[in-house]
Structure 1
Amino acid sequence: MPNHRTGGGDPAHTLRLLWRQPDESRRRGPRPGRSLDDIVTAAIALADAEGLDAVTMRALAQAVGVAPMTLYTYVPGKAELLDLMLDAIYAGMPRPDHSGRSWRTRVAALAQANRDLFTAHPWAAEVATGRPPLGPGLLAKYEHELRAFDDTGLDDVARDAALTYVLDFVRAAARAAAEAQAARRDSAWTDEEWWAANGPLLAQVLDEQRYPTAVRVGAAAGAAQNAAYHPDQAYEFGLARLLDGLAALIDTERTGPTADVTDG
């Protein structure tokens, strides 16, 4: 389970920050030397470079060149900061016009856009968003992505569920890819070297009579992927099956359910 979650701060204060609404209680006093956007941009850069755990208020204050206590005049704490960070990267996502293309092309494009987001900002896949940051970036993203399901015949509830289904798949694929990359980074061996070192021992303990399917399929998959797990191939296979599943639902919505008629 992710250790980081959105929606952890005071809702009213967080929404004011997300929408850059002025705080009437802070109108007096000296003009701040930094903007809230500066703070958020620095926090994103820190998370991109070192991960979310590295984004402490002290480290962020050092990155932007202010005293730690000064930072709290911009944002109350990390809970609100996390919402601001996510909303900012959502706002920066490209939103090309895919009108005129098939729904499968549109949905595949939105999936790839989110995959690109997680590649650029791996920490974002670690954040649980059950209480999403309701800022302009998220709402623009949601509005754009819902349109991928135009002309599918899905009602509003099914359209929202279909989008969630796609985004959950992409998030899971991104986390699996990040874990595989971390294993390669933290290990002294490449995948090929690891299998070469463990292959002889594995050959001794694997009983082809006891595990015939596992041995056969594992060998075939490993040879095809040159590894036990290949993130790109897993993503492409999963996305194709996901689109096939949505196609069955969309066909039903367009044509209506068909009865299974048998002779009595």
Structure 2
Amino acid sequence: MAEDIAGRGDPIKTLQLMWGRVEAPKRGPKARGSVGDLVQAAVRIADAEGIDAVSTRRVAEAVGISPMSFYTHIPDKSVLLDLMLDAVSGGDYPMPVFDPAQWRANVTMVASEFRKYYIAHPWVLQVSTHRPVLGPNTMKSYEVFLSALDGLGLDEIEMDMSVTMIANYVFGAARDVARSRMVKEQTGMSDDEWWYAIAPFLETLDYAPYPVASRIGPVVGELYGLGDPDRAFDFGLERILDGLAVMIEGKGG
């Protein structure tokens, strides 16, 4: 997957738009549409067709304004991308109240919701957020993730690093799901159909040089073919939580 880059546009203008700090013009006719209308239209296009399908012209037409009118609201596509990222982050729900005694369940819930977010908006996986999007919804996501680890005896750096570790894991797990769907769409062949197509050739090979792989592979293949993303996600997350538990217990949490 090729990557777009967050934070490429004018950072101050982007933040002003995200936080609603742009004043409406005091004179002249009221502009048609709004920043929110344009962002939501862009998100709908990206969700349905991918980020490459998003253009300022396409978004303007979806809202019913001219391409030039787009720029009276948003200066360019780079700023639009950051606004899109913040718009889909955070979720439409109140801030949860976490019981620290249930921290494993809390982190599991947050990580699972984060994964659902990526799967619902796979285009997000194609955007590099090395420079973070600092809008209200993104800040809410960070707040929720941190809150799931609050009150456990971890210091500020340990909490932030734990969030980063879990977020990176979820990102990788969700990317695998998105890639499997992309492969099926582009090849027109399911994973099972692909296995059936190559099975006759594989049966002619000598697996003596690969004793461990030849023992494990058939068992895994019989159980779930090319992979079971839900099982793999749950397994990996549990191991991460096991590691966090050691650190938390060492602090008396």
TM-score bracket for this pair, using the shorter chain length: over 0.9
Give, in angstroms, the shift of residue 69 of structure 1: 1.0
Distance 1:95 1:118, change over 3 A: farther
Instruction: Give 1:247's match in structure 2, choosing from 245, 248, 251.
Output: 245
SS at match of 2:250: helix
Give, in angstroms, the shift of residue 6 of structure 1: 1.3
SS at match of 1:189: coil
Give, in angstroms, the shift of residue 21 of structure 1: 0.8
CA distance in 2, matches of 1:13, 1:27: 19
Which residue of structure 1 lines up, in the alignment, with residue 47 of structure 2?
Answer: 48
Deviation >6 Å, runs of 4+: none
Which residue of structure 2 lines up, in the alignment, with residue 92 of structure 1?
Answer: 91
CA distance in 1, matches of 2:201, 2:151: 55
Which residue of structure 2 lines up, in the alignment, with residue 83 of structure 1?
Answer: 82
Which residue of structure 2 lines up, in the alignment, with residue 172 of structure 1?
Answer: 172
Give, in angstroms, the shift of residue 52 of structure 1: 0.5
Which residue of structure 1 lines up, in the alignment, with residue 135 of structure 2?
Answer: 135
Cα pair 2:18 2:136 within 8 Å, conserved? yes
Give, in angstroms, the shift of residue 27 of structure 1: 3.7
Under a length normalisation based on structure 2, what TM-score does the superposition of the two structures give? 0.93
Bigger Rg, structure 1 or 2: 1
* Structure 1 alignment gaps of length 5 or more: 256-264
Give, in angstroms, the shift of residue 127 of structure 1: 1.6
Matched, 1:102 2:75: no
Summarize the alignment of residues 26-65 of structure 1 with structure 2, pairs less than 5 Å apart: 26-65=25-64
CA distance in 1, matches of 2:40, 2:73: 13
Cα pair 1:93 1:113 within 8 Å, conserved? no
Give, in angstroms, the shift of residue 239 of structure 1: 1.0
SS at match of 1:242: helix
Q: Deviations over 1:194-250 (max 9, x none)?
A: 111211101212x2211111111111111111x122211221111111111111222
CA distance in 2, matches of 1:241, 1:95: 29
Matched, 1:153 2:153: yes
Give, in angstroms, the shift of residue 117 of structure 1: 0.8
Q: Deviations over 1:119-150 (max 9, x none)?
A: 22111122221211111111122112211002
Compare 182-191 and 138-147 and name the one that shifted more. Answer: 182-191
Give, in angstroms, the shift of residue 98 of structure 1: 4.5
Cα pair 2:6 2:82 within 8 Å, conserved? yes
Give, in angstroms, the shift of residue 35 of structure 1: 1.2
Number of matched pairs: 252
Which residue of structure 1 lines up, in the alignment, with residue 195 of structure 2?
Answer: 195
CA distance in 1, matches of 2:6, 2:115: 20
* Structure 2 alignment gaps of length 5 or more: none
State the superposition RMSD in angstroms: 1.7
Amino acid at match of 2:33: R
Cα pair 1:2 1:128 within 8 Å, conserved? no
SS at match of 1:75: coil
Distance 1:91 1:213, change over 3 A: closer
Give, in angstroms, the shift of residue 36 of structure 1: 0.8
SS at match of 1:222: helix
Give, in angstroms, the shift of residue 96 of structure 1: 5.6
Which residue of structure 2 lines up, in the alignment, with residue 8 of structure 1?
Answer: 8
Q: Deviations over 1:141-179 (max 9, x none)?
A: 211221100222110011011011111111111111110
Amino acid at match of 2:194: W
Instruction: Give 1:236's match in structure 2, choosing from 234, 237, 240.
Output: 234
CA distance in 2, matches of 1:98, 1:82: 31
Amino acid at match of 2:186: D
Give, in angstroms, the shift of residue 3 of structure 1: 1.4
Identical columns (%): 41
Give, in angstroms, the shift of residue 93 of structure 1: 4.2
Which residue of structure 2 lines up, in the alignment, with residue 262 of structure 1?
Answer: none
Amino acid at match of 1:80: V
Which residue of structure 2 lines up, in the alignment, with residue 260 of structure 1?
Answer: none
Distance 1:107 1:237, change over 3 A: same
